[in-house]
Amino acid sequence: MSYLQKRLPKKIVTAIGAGVMLFCVSSSNAAKTDIAQKMLEVFDSMCFLGAPDFRGIDTTVAGFGGSELSPKLVYTDPAMAENNGRAFKIPYAGELFVLGITEVGTCSVIAQDRIADKLRKSILKNYPVHKAFEKPSGVQTAEYFTSKKGKPYLIGIVESKPGATVTATVLQYAPPEIAKQFIRP
């Protein structure tokens, strides 16, 4: 059981979610908190608990009425092509997210909204992590957190900057084998 699941109602704990890109989102603060919570539940179930091998992903995706995106579409992202990535669209709790996984054990959940502030608060509350580093670039900002103890995994929040053509937030997970390349002792 993950850190987040210990705080969730049993009904949600037993559910494993993933999703499709969000298309219609209210801009109210309460709605953003709700979307952030749902995104974190998908992330926790699929990325945090599923990595690094993602066994059973196809069954889980099917269980939520989701489907795999075409490799032709997925491989337009060089990192996904290079790491034999797969992406899925699945409805979850009335919202839509995109889930991406790679054979090296990385995982991302994408929401079409700017919710990094809400996610940051939830991550710091529900996971034993601390801020490792920030990496602003171009039209997005990236903030990474690493485990306080045990093997150093990474949780990242990448968000489009205000005014960018695309409005999105990506919640990422990198297992210890990948994280150690980015974390300084």
Task: Kindly report, residue by residue over 63-97, the tens digit of the pLDDT.
Answer: 778 899 999 989 988 889 999 999 999 889 899 99
CA 126 to chain centre: 15
Task: Specify if 79 maps to a domain.
Answer: yes
Name the band, by pLDDT with cuts 50, 70 and 90, for residue 21.
very low
Host domain of residue 64: 5-179
pTM (2 d.p.): 0.80
The pLDDT tens digits of the residues spanning 107-163 come to: 999 998 889 999 999 999 999 999 999 988 888 999 999 998 888 899 999 999 988
Residue at 40 is within a domain: yes
**183 against 87, higher pLDDT:** 87
pLDDT tens readout for residues 100-119? 999 999 999 999 888 999 99
Cβ neighbours of residue 127 under 8 Å, at least 6 residues apart? 3, 4, 145, 147, 155
Cα–Cα distance between 44 and 68 in angstroms, integer?
Answer: 20
Residue 153 within a domain? yes
pLDDT tens digits along 27-61: 345 566 689 999 999 898 888 888 888 888 888 78
User: Is residue 185 in some structural domain?
Assistant: no
Distances (CA, A) of 35 to 11, 38, 72, 118: 18, 5, 29, 9
Q: Check residue 121 and give its pLDDT.
A: 94
In a domain, 35, yes or no: yes
Res 184: pLDDT: 60
* Neighbour tally for 25: CB within 10 Å: 18
Higher pLDDT, 11 or 62: 62
Q: How far, CA to CA in Å, does 96 sit from each of 23, 104, 109, 111? A: 7, 25, 10, 7
pLDDT, position 165: 86
pLDDT for 2: 44
**Structural domain includes residue 168:** yes
Distance CA 60, CA 117 (A): 29
Task: Name the E strands within 37-106.
Answer: 67-68, 86-92, 95-101
Q: Does some domain include residue 32?
A: yes
Residue 184 falls inside a structural domain: no
The total number of structural domains in the chain stands at: 1
User: What span, in angstroms and rounded, lies between the C-alpha atoms of 5 and 126?
Assistant: 9
Q: Which residues contact 60 (CB under 8 A, 6 or more apart)?
A: 16, 18, 46
What's the confidence (pLDDT) of residue 36? 93
* Rounded CA separation 132/109 (Å): 20
